[in-house]
Structure 1
Amino acid sequence: MRTLILTSVCAVGLCGCVQSIDAPLSPTFGQAVASMDTQIIPVRPSDQPPSANGARAASAIARLEKGEVYKPETANTSNVSVMSYGGK
């Protein structure tokens, strides 16, 4: 019985949250998909990846094949630095 009363009270309370299906939509509804120009983000030249250096890449591959790769410097909390770039 308590469950029925609780369910009824919750159902009546949630009825106030329902919006009419026949309510008018916003005048701008659907304009985002009307044209693809509004969905495409232009790519700036600064967003492009850096150009590759062929000689450097070839030497890196040769070192990898020989097993002579450079060991990365280990980072810990005492020598980590934050670098900021001027990009926006």
Structure 2
Amino acid sequence: MANNNQVKPLHDRVIVKPAPAEDKTAGGIIIPDTAKEKPQRGIVLAAGPGKKDEPVTVKQGDRILYGKYAGTEFQFEGEQVLIMRESDILAIV
């Protein structure tokens, strides 16, 4: 994300860049685009300050796991990113 037009999430929101979908299985079978699953991991691009008495525990650059249907997708500077609540994050990897 560029510094001059950076999006700043509010409260307990986090902006995440999803990891690319897998192209092959562990056995080496190539997965077609129509059968690829939505990734459930990504990298935190930005995090809000948190709620009044609950600061956000993730920070920029953290690799995270999140729920399958977590967040809202949007385009920012040509990249597909997600914005979600910190409570949708399952773990920091």
- TM-score relative to the length of structure 1: 0.16
- The structure in which a higher percent of residues are helix is 1
- The structure having more radius of gyration, on CA atoms, is 1
Q: Which protein has greater RCO, CA pairs closer than 8 Å, 6+ apart?
A: 2
